[in-house]
Amino acid sequence: MMPSPDSLTLRERAAQMLLVGFRGCHADDCSAVLDDIAVTGVGGVILFDRDVADPALTLRNVESPAQLRALVDALRSAARIPLLVAIDQEGGQVNRLKEARGFPVSVSHAALGRAEGVDGTREAASAIAGTLAAAGINFNLAPVVDLDANPDNPIIRARERCFSSDPEAVARHAIAYAEAHRARGLMCCAKHFPGHGSAAGDTHAGFVDVTATWSERELLPFRRMIEAGACDAVMSAHVFNATLDPVHPATLSPAVLTGVLRGQLGFEGLIVSDDMQMGAITAHYGLQEAVERAVCAGVDLLCFGNNLHFDPQIARKVVDVLVRAVEERRVPRERVDDACARVLSFKSRL
């Protein structure tokens, strides 16, 4: 049963705002994250198939369909409050559940976008959602609604993650993708707001400025999804756009998240950060400042993939940061209350 936010302590509310990654394929290997779930009360976990921080680790969380289901069952059983279990299963190259490990083949957004209609997208998304549901996963960090707006984009276009350069076509495919997931009982997350498709750099590596290349066309797929009632969650981008905020990247910007996404586009759902351990954030902000600015900007669910850098204590550190920030009045208590309420409301819809 979902608790009310009022029944939770400040520390429990802060913990619900976390989506954390971890190492281990079996419950016996995962005591740290199980403790984070059972004791700290983190709101969700994110799964990966490989370990970026330590390439010598050939397995991260995924060995086979049966193993994955057992792992997810153990994680969810440890939770006092229903757990978000998230994954980046876009299809194509961004695919954590690979054929070599017994999972079905998936298709990239770019391949789906080349079709005239969206029937193929709906069918492919339904297949992905079915695979996730069979594993007990309830939150897919997809679809990508960035435009194919820069032929030299190294992380979106180069990995075939764009449906199209036409924002209306992107919106049609994204809506079909999200609806197919809902039909299977899963939620989706449109990404990366306010648009990463025109970038020439990769925010995993460091600072990326889209001021000269970004256009308002990149907002249209988000707007259409929101208008259609098909937008469950939105993931922020770490891109810097001086047109929207002359100081901070989008994830840390009230002007972008509260002003544009909430105010202009009228989005009332869950705002999820891109991985807070990516270079665009860590190269310029310490943990405390980044967390405080993200929450004040409007982020409800902070993602710490714990993969680019591994810290088994990251969940407790972030909860400590948030609690101190509220107690010392750097983050309004109402902002944490609102974020926690959105997380719990999102979970109640699963």
DSSP string, 291-318: HHHHHHHT-SBEEE-SSSS--TTHHHHH
Please state the domain count of the chain: 1
User: What global pTM score does this model have?
Assistant: 0.98
Cα separation, 303 vs 128, in Å, equals 22
The CATH number assigned to the domain holding 341 equals: 3.20.20.300
Identify the domain containing residue 213 by its residue range.
20-348
Catalytic-role residue among 148, 274, 275, 300: 274
In angstroms, rounded to a whole number, what is the distance separating the alpha carbons of residues 337 and 345?
A: 12
How far is residue 150's CA from residue 165's CA, in Å, rounded to a whole number?
Answer: 9
- Whether 6 is covered by a domain: the verdict is no
Please name the residue that has the structure tokens 């707007």: 223
| Signed CA dihedral, 152, 155, 160, 164: sign only | negative
Angstrom CA distances, 232 to 38, 272, 342, stand at 26, 11, 11
Distance separating alpha carbons of residues 275 and 268, to the nearest angstrom: 21
Overall average pLDDT of the 327-344 stretch: 98
* pLDDT of 52 higher than 90: yes
Task: Return d(Cα 212, Cα 114) in angstroms, integer.
Answer: 28
- Whether residue 210 contacts residue 199, with contact meaning beta carbons closer than 8 Å, is answered with yes
Query: Rounded to whole angstroms, how far apart are CA atoms 276 and 314?
Result: 11
pLDDT over 90 at 1, yes or no: no
Whether the predicted pLDDT of 116 surpasses 90: no
Give me 329's structure tokens. 């009045």
Please check whether residue 10 lies inside any domain of the structure.
no
**259 falls within a domain:** yes
Query: Residue with structure tokens 């086979």?
Result: 64
For the chain, the average pLDDT equals 97
Q: Measuring CA to CA, which residue among 192, 114, 107 is closest to residue 146?
A: 192
Alpha helices in the chain (DSSP H): 10-16, 31-35, 65-77, 109-113, 119-135, 167-183, 220-227, 254, 279-282, 287-297, 314-327, 333-348
Q: What pLDDT shows up at residue 143?
A: 98
pLDDT in tens, 124-151: 999 999 999 999 999 999 999 999 999 9
Catalytic residue check, 109: no
Smallest CA-to-CA distance from 15 within 327, 321, 332 is with: 321
Q: Is residue 186 part of a domain?
A: yes
pLDDT at residue 249, as a whole number:
98
The pair of three-digit structure tokens given for residue 227, joined into one six-digit string = 């208008």
**314: amino acid identity, one letter:** I
- Report if residue 7 sits inside a domain: no
pLDDT in tens, 166-208: 999 999 999 999 999 999 999 999 999 999 999 999 999 999 9
DSSP for residue 240: B
70 assigned to some structural domain: yes
Is there a catalytic annotation at residue 320?
Answer: no
- What pLDDT sits at residue 111? 98
User: Pick the catalytic residue: 204, 209, 309, 338?
Assistant: 204
Residue 336 resides in a domain: yes
Q: Is residue 294 part of a domain?
A: yes
Are 210 and 247 in contact by the 8 Å Cβ rule? The answer is: no
pLDDT bin (cut points 50, 70, 90) of residue 51 is very high
Tell me the CA end-to-end span of the chain in Å, nearest whole number. 12
Q: In what order do the strands lie in the sheet with 139-140?
A: 187-188, 139-140, 84-87, 44-47, 18-20, 302-304
Please tell me whether the peptide bond between 204 and the residue prior to it is cis, using omega within 30 degrees of 0.
no
pLDDT tens readout for residues 250-297: 999 999 999 999 999 999 999 999 999 999 999 999 999 999 999 999
